[in-house]
Amino acid sequence: MDVILSALSDLLTPEGGWRVQLLVRIVLSTVLLFAYVLLLARTFGARTFANFTSYDFLTNVAAGSLVASAILGKSVVESGLSLLLLVGLQFLVSTWSARSRAAQGVFDNEPVVLVERGVMREQVMRKARVSPAILEQSLRASGIQDVSQVKFAVLESGGAISVIKA
């Protein structure tokens, strides 16, 4: 039993013990990581993390990384606190985005019209990094055989392509 308690104590105590500097480092590194991945997602567009909002993607990837770090020997407490902070940031950002157009503009990619009244907007598609083959796949999935049958096709902020039939 002593071995189990000793191992549990080691897992729950950060290397070097609890310090204010440690907590500040965890908070700052988590916030900086959050901002960095959000910047990457906004810079490289909706197709980068298809079907996730930028902050949802960040939370999922970072959670996996933090769990792996904890499993591979980093302090469970440090990883747990970072994960808690990261999930809290994700909650705050998603709540703020849901309530504020300005926040939504900062954290989410704007929808992009790829097809308008049966005409592919090729320059827009190139900028959004959507190939004709990807668009045609989405059209087929919507039961459309030809682009002329499309009123609008929109690359949504989460990376999915929505199709409105003509």
Residue range 21-70, pLDDT digits in tens = 888 877 887 787 778 767 766 776 655 555 677 777 777 788 778 767 76
Beta strand 112-116 pairing with 150-155 = antiparallel
- Say if CB 92 and CB 75 are below 8 A apart: no
pLDDT at 148: 94
Residue linked to tokens 């926040």? 103
pLDDT at 155: 94
Say what percent of the chain tops pLDDT 70.
87
What phi and psi, each to the nearest 5 degrees, are found at residue 114?
Answer: -95, -35
pLDDT digits (tens, 9 = 90+) for 81-136: 787 788 788 888 888 988 999 988 888 888 999 999 999 999 999 999 999 999 99
Q: Domains in the chain, please, with CATH?
A: 2-107 (no CATH), 112-165 (3.30.240.20)
